[in-house]
Amino acid sequence: MKIAIFSDIHGNLEALQSVAEAWDELWVLGDLVNYGPNPAEVVDFVRQNAAVVVRGNHDHAVGASEDPRCSSAFREMARAMQVYTESVLSDEQKAYLRQLPLSAQMEADGRRFFLCHAAPSDPLFRYGPTEAAFWTPETAAVTADILLVGHTHLPFMMDLGAKRIVNPGSVGQPKHGAPEACYAVWEDGVITLKSCPYPVEETVRKVLALPIDMRIRRQLAAVLATGDLQV
């Protein structure tokens, strides 16, 4: 069984299409939309290809016209792009986003997986650092071998006793210092963090042509071009 694990695609079609893995199943940890120029196409791709999808804070915000409660550095960008994203998605696509489950449980190769976007205690909004002190109580209530999370856009793996926490990073808006699509693969009992280059310049070109304030367009373009949290 080969499973591709994506998170935080954020409307970036070029990054999504550049992941050349062949998989038996695709699992998606939320945030299909916002920030990127092609949210409708990303939603359609995920609906057609994913075996399981959980709801991210931006999926929830766009689907229900609510605040995504993102970090302060991205709040203004999120607001501007949410207006754009809501304008280009159909009512059906927005209904799909708001009806996604907050968490899911899956099994593969005799292992149990718990999937959520942020953290089990707060599946939509809580940012989880790469520290055992944060994740120890989060995993205590989870009856699974592997906890799959996203939200921070920072890939990591951590073992806590018999449990493993995995964040595949972000496919569409990486913030770990390299402008590459990040994801994870589970194959034959082994999980691996991966990344691949994508045509960032094409996504940047689309962002700079969006009908939003030019200052925000430039900020979004800088995040994509650098793969950096700082804007």
Check: CB of residue 18 under 8 Å from CB of residue 171.
Answer: no
**Six token digits for residue 114:** 């718990």
45-90 pLDDT per residue, tens: 999 999 999 999 999 999 999 999 998 889 999 999 999 999 999 9
The percentage of the chain sitting over the pLDDT mark of 90, rounded to a whole number, equals 93
Helices (H), the chain: 13-18, 39-49, 57-64, 75-88, 91-98, 132-140, 200-208, 214-226
Which of these, 8, 18, 38, lies nearest to 209 by C-alpha position? Answer: 38
175-212 pLDDT per residue, tens: 999 999 999 999 999 999 999 999 999 999 999 999 99
201: Cβ contacts below 8 Å, ≥ 6 apart: none
pLDDT at 229 (0 to 100): 66
44: Cβ contacts below 8 Å, ≥ 6 apart: 93
Cα separation, 38 vs 13, whole angstroms: 6
State yes or no: pLDDT of 231 exceeds 60. no
| pTM confidence score | 0.96
Confidence category of residue 230, pLDDT binned at 50, 70, 90: low
83-102 pLDDT per residue, tens: 999 999 999 999 999 999 99
Residues making up the chain, counted from first to last: 231
The mean per-residue pLDDT over the stretch 99-107 comes to: 98
Domains of the chain: 2-226 (3.60.21.10)
Please tell me what DSSP assigns to residue 74. Answer: G
First to last CA, the chain: 39
Residue type, 203: T
Name the burial class of residue 128, with classes exposed (0-12), middle (13-18) and buried (19+) by CB atoms within 10 angstroms of its CB. Answer: buried
